[in-house]
Amino acid sequence: MSKSGTPRKITIDGETFNVAADANFAQTPGNTIEGVRHTGGTMMKNTLNVENLESVTLIATGTQFESLKEKAKRDVNYPMSYELASGDVYRAVGMITLDNRETEENRVDLTMIPDGEWEAFLA
């Protein structure tokens, strides 16, 4: 199952945002496998990671930015999703952190942190 394609929009707690045309989300993998050497051979260490979606660049007005700030302050999970140009949609519940705001082009960078994994709804 491929998660490739240009991101088009995201929805955070029912509010939809357009994604910047040049955006390319960075998604961390769900696990990391590492070989640990010891006298009896190599032991495999499998670490489960949160599938964060980083470098999510949105186009947001001042009002939308204020709404995002309120969402980022919450300490309870809320629904969120993202859609790719292919029509594939991925959704989860979780939280966001705001990373940056640039007023010149109304860009807001954030990280989407799911409580679990992203669930695919493929087109």
Q: Which residue has the higher pLDDT, 90 or 27?
A: 90
User: Across-strand partners of 35?
Assistant: 44
The confidence score (pLDDT) of residue 93 equals 97
pTM here? Answer: 0.79
Amino acid at 1: M
User: Average pLDDT, stretch 101-108?
Assistant: 92
pLDDT > 70: percent of the chain: 95
User: Average pLDDT, stretch 51-75?
Assistant: 92
What domains can you pick out in the chain, each with its CATH number?
A: 7-121 (2.40.30.200)
